[in-house]
């Protein structure tokens, strides 16, 4: 399937201090118009994918997430029409992300920085775990994060793996990719597996063709990254998967975050870390 690319625009300048922002500061800056991917922003605070859908489609989305928990781990679901969430006191889901996407009949029609003009009283918002959240754990374990080092968005790919359908929703799994040096592979698997609420351990490592990916240098979303000479491509389920379902299923209306432009919550990443058991299997 052909996934729509972002609208043409110059890259936002990278603020090297963004990792030290509080989530409140990050949201305020995005509300004021700053647009940039959120990888590395407000380090240690949980990030979330966002997809508001009309109430008559909300059960389908909830069922889709329940049946596909790896790419769609739900952190919160709002009441119809509400633009607030228990994950961030005082935040506004209509204004506090750096960029959104607006969909009509499965087509991308706009990428605004504020969706108040598109908001509807029947929208139910789903906040879904994001793999940017586990990057603090990877960094702490010494695993290099190539896209953060290079000031780029994480590369994302639409795969040949199909999600389990739910009601009127169906579509492929989307994955994010991080090149990992071989000596850090075990740590990458261990650390991310301890955070199942933000996608958990990888779904694949190595040969991208197993996932139906032809060229790592041409991601469907995000930016290509330069890997080290011995790096192994490692793939994690991605919260952009509901957007692929929107593209495939063509609901009349939906709003989402722009890929890589996440919602910064007040939650600390450690809140989603499960206890270490000493036994974690590589996916």
For the segment 30-81, what is each residue's pLDDT rounded down to a tens digit? 999 999 999 889 988 999 999 999 999 999 999 999 999 999 999 999 999 9
pLDDT band at 245 (very low <50, low <70, confident <90, very high): very high
pTM exceeds 0.85: yes
For the chain, the domains span 18-270
Fold of domain 18-270: PSTPO5379-like fold (3.30.2040)
Handedness of CA 270, 275, 280, 283 (dihedral sign): negative
pLDDT for 280 equals 47
Angle between the N-to-C axes of helices 55-67 and 241-249, in degrees from 0 to 180, rounded to the nearest 10: 120
| Average pLDDT rounded to a whole number, residues 121-132 | 96
CA 98-102-108 angle, 5° bins:
115
pLDDT tens digits for range 169-199:
999 999 999 999 999 999 999 999 999 999 9
Beta bridge partners of 253: 104
| CA distances from residue 13 to 101, 103, 118, 152, 204 in whole angstroms, order as listed | 21, 27, 28, 10, 32
Look at residue 270 and tell me whether its pLDDT is greater than 50. yes
Q: List helix spans (H) across 143-238.
A: 146-149, 185-193
């Amino acid at each position: 399937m052909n996934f729509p690319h972002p609208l043409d625009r110059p890259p936002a300048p990278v603020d090297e201090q963004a990792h030290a922002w509080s989530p409140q500061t990050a949201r305020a800056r995005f509300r004021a118009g700053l647009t940039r991917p959120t990888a590395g922003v407000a380090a240690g605070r949980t990030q979330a994918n966002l997809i508001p859908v009309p109430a008559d489609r909300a059960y389908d989305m909830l069922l889709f997430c329940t049946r596909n928990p790896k790419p769609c781990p739900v952190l919160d679901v709002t009441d119809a029409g509400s633009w607030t969430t228990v994950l961030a006191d005082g935040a506004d889901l209509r204004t506090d992300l750096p960029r959104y996407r607006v969909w009509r009949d499965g087509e991308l029609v706009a990428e605004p920085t504020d969706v108040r003009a598109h908001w509807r009283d029947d929208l139910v918002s789903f906040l879904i775990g994001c793999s940017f959240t586990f990057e603090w754990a990877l960094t702490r374990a010494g695993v290099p994060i190539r896209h953060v080092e290079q000031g780029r968005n994480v590369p994302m790919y639409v795969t040949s793996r199909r999600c389990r359908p739910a009601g009127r929703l169906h579509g492929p799994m989307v994955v994010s990719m991080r090149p990992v040096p071989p000596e850090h592979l075990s740590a990458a698997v261990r650390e991310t597996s301890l955070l199942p609420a933000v996608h958990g351990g990888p779904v694949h490592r190595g040969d991208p063709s197993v996932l139906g990916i032809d060229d790592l240098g041409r991601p469907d979303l995000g930016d290509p990254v330069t890997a080290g000479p011995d790096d192994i491509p490692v793939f994690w389920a991605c919260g952009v998967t509901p957007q692929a379902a929107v593209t495939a299923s063509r609901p009349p209306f939906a709003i989402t975050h722009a890929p890589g432009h996440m919602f910064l919550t007040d939650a600390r990443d450690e809140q989603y870390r499960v206890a270490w058991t000493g036994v974690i299997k590589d996916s």
